[in-house]
Amino acid sequence: TMADTQYLLKSDSGKLAKAYDSMSYTVFFFGPIPMLIRQDVQGCIYWLISILAVIGLNTLFTILRGYSHTLDGFVIFCVVIGWTALYNNWHRKRLLKQNYQEVEKHDVTNRILFF
């Protein structure tokens, strides 16, 4: 199923942010671009570090094995699947730690229409 949107409202500034609560298909297909659109620089940096670390370790192991076999594509695919499964929940928890509070969808609509 597609991700369910949950609207969050930052209590001190009134800033709205969206958070999702299931797999991030956008991260699967577009990598760190959705993180940058959400202004999640930390998530983008972690994504890049994890991909580069996997490529580096796989390259090191390939050299140590004498270039006999490499699993580059499969290992990178596994890391991307991990990010797909975990990113939305991780992003939502970080927003809640930054004093965002969950708000009902109709409250968000009323806030936009009447303020």
pLDDT in tens, 66-75: 776 666 678 8
From residue 83, give the alpha-carbon distance in Å to each of 8, 10, 29, 47, 106: 22, 25, 11, 8, 31
Question: In percent, how much of the chain has pLDDT > 90?
Answer: 33
Q: Is the pLDDT of residue 25 over 50?
A: yes
| Cα dihedral value 86, 87, 88, 91, nearest 10 | 120
Q: Please tell me the total number of residues recorded for the chain in this structure.
A: 115
* Average pLDDT over every residue of 90-103: 87
Average pLDDT across the chain, whole number? 82
What angle (nearest 5°) sits at the alpha carbon of residue 20, between those of residues 15 and 25? Answer: 130
| Cβ within 8 Å of residue 81, ≥6 positions away | 28
pLDDT at 112: 57
111: confidence class by pLDDT, cuts 50, 70, 90 = low
